[in-house]
Structure 1
Amino acid sequence: MSKLNIQKIRTDFPILDQKVNGKSLVYFDNAATTQKPQVVIDAISEYYTGYNANIHRGIHYLAEKATTAFEATRTTVQKFINADSKEEVIFTYGTTDSINLVSQTYGMKFLGKGDEILISTLEHHSNIVPWQMLCEARGCILKIIPINDQGEIIFEEYLKLLTDKTRFVSVVHVSNALGTINPVKQIIEKAHEFGAVVLIDGAQAVTHIEIDVQDLNADFYAFSAHKLFGPTGMGVLYGKKDLLNAMPPYRGGGEMIKEVTFEKTTYNELPYKFEAGTPNIADVIAVKNAIDYINAIGKDSIAAYEDELLKYATEKLSAIEGLTIIGTAKEKVSVISFILEGIHPQDVGIILDQQGIAIRTGHHCTQPLMQRLGLVGTCRASFSVYNTFGEIDLLVEGINKVKRMLS
């Protein structure tokens, strides 16, 4: 059993101490967004009350303090994912923005007619639509890596899809809908054998798995702060320096320039070349607090406890007659998708909400995956370090109540 003091951890998250429909909140929608510890909330407040100023340009006290705090987050992120340098850490507005940045810069410059892009059946819409848009604009060909009935990439089929025409591979590290952990290191290794560049969508992996971009040998790695106890509207794109240097800017304006004349503009150095305009300063600063919070607990300890929650919930939910767990990969994070025989997922979610239990229902922005599985959607319970075994018991009770009401 975990040695973590979960009740102490829960007190760090003020939102958990409330009633919903007269019941204590049970928050099992962590794959959509995690809740925020007080240290993250305080960091945002402290910026606005203590040193609100624009960064990088000013020489006065507030501007220099804000710039120092802002860049401290970049260094913290660099260490968190083991990037080679802080210049490889680009601040974006989230995973979706990061993927679009790559597709619209690297893709538009280096990919063309007949070039093949591989994605998997497990992808979130954010890792499908940008590549479809690129294919329409540049004449590339999108190919899909299939999965088995357990929700795992069929690696042998992936190998068959790799050819000399494969120029780019973009796959999710962890499925947001099923919790499947993909063998991304092996995926990257095989893609590189064909000279392809690889982007990993790490939105769901970043709180559950140690991320070492150098060990993975990832060309690009994207994630969002709000999945790791940080604010919404802030994300990260890691990219190898040589690739980032070769890519054109994504947006034009302030910060990303070195010199502007009406005749010609020269662009700034990394990472600022991709960070046009006044950024989301307060939220970027707060991300350091979120990562420091994770590091203080220990990601290994968090992962071990969440795995205990997953095993317990899997056992308890599997015992419910008429309930089928969707996605039974051998390697998973703490996400369980399920369906109840004869009951629409939305109805399940509504009745559970009446009992103070927050889950996610629907297609989870993975409509092609749901089509592959023959489903309109699922119910998804996703667990974080502040969840408890007692809350899982309440989920089981809630599901049994749903059955009694609707079966």
Structure 2
Amino acid sequence: MDLFRSEPVAQPLAARLRASNLDEYVGQEHLLARGKPLREALEQGALHSMIFWGPPGVGKTTLARLLAQFCDAHFETVSAVLAGVKEIRQAVDVARQQAAQYGRRTILFVDEVHRFNKSQQDAFLPFVEDGTLIFIGATTENPSFELNNALLSRARVYVLKSLDEAALRRLVQRALSDERGLGKRHLRVGDEAMQMLMAAADGDGRRMLNFLENASDLAEDGEEIDVAMLQSLLGDGRRRFDKGGEAFYDQISALHKSVRGSDPDAALYWYARMLDGGCDPLYIARRVVRMASEDIGNADPRALSLCLSAWDVQERLGSPEGELAVAQAITYIACAPKSNAVYMGFKAAMREAAEHGSLEVPLHLRNAPTKLMKQLGYGDEYRYAHDEPDAYAAGEDYFPEQLPPRPYYQPVPRGLELKIGEKLRHLAELDRNSPRQRRKP
């Protein structure tokens, strides 16, 4: 036996089943069906630089390879996880050789392009600009945030979607029938097992094929892969959720907007999705407290206390008891009367504080703890509100002298703010009738 002879490495099922032409490609009909934008560009030979943005396992790399094959272009690939400017320059040299010797265009495919920093991304620009390279980048993150504007302006962004049930079924059927896959073994997958496979895949074709391959290792040739086999493999599978990634921000946004829209059922759904995906419940609890201030405010001040209590319960008891308390808070604030008056008033005050600089505090509002301060007039003519009728110093002015009073806080006619608004209008009437009328806004 030759100890130094290397045996061929068995490829995973997903790699063996990689589509060899566009007709075998599964999913992304919104881009590749007849008459759709990317298909039209390909059939016309108008190959251009592009960015594929989509979740894992939806065919970004396969599609890039097929584009090169379809257009008879040389295909070079680098991974932004492992490569740097050196590898980019090597790819440029190869592209120049291909153009000089064979007259072929070169596609440079950069996987996980969002992992390149801005200066590394800039390294592509001259060669994309002069046509040396046709750049195709793949990313799971929002290109608007992760790629620089110069690169974005030179590439068209195509959004790839998670694979739907029809696409996932096609993949399983191909895997079971194609001799490159499991076709020689004559395996079957039952309906219930198929549903379990698709649920576990969560729109990720590569993930589903990996599950199917693992299950096939437990089955005899000609046997049916059943639920029991899959249960032993899948365990407690988590849905797609990446803290700090696009799915993370999309889902917390959906939760917040459901609360703001007074839909407790949708709010509970997005809360459950985030927990199911592995999100830290304490993060959600903190965001729920923010929602209570931003979207309910003084329309129902109890909302803030309830949300703080739910956060406290989550910290004290952990899961699952704490998660129920956070769910209680979410449903309460979703059903509560809504007001962003405090939020908007605070933003306006912060904006004017920044715009007007360091305006001095009027003398009558300053404390006078020393004799010198009293001699300088600190606190002179200050009216102590509790000594005034109804504990209100009508006509008094509390703004800096250079800044007329501003109505930052404007209560809405809902919840407790309905009463607060009535109170403020009454006080404004007292101001108007006071001999010491305050300056008008």
Band the TM-score falls in, shorter-chain normalisation: under 0.3
- Structure number with greater CO (CA < 8 Å, separation at least 6) is 1
Structure ID, larger Rg = 2
Query: Could you state the TM-score of these two structures normalised by the residue count of structure 2?
Result: 0.21
Please state which structure has a larger fraction of its residues in strand.
Answer: 1
Please state which structure has a larger fraction of its residues in helix.
Answer: 2
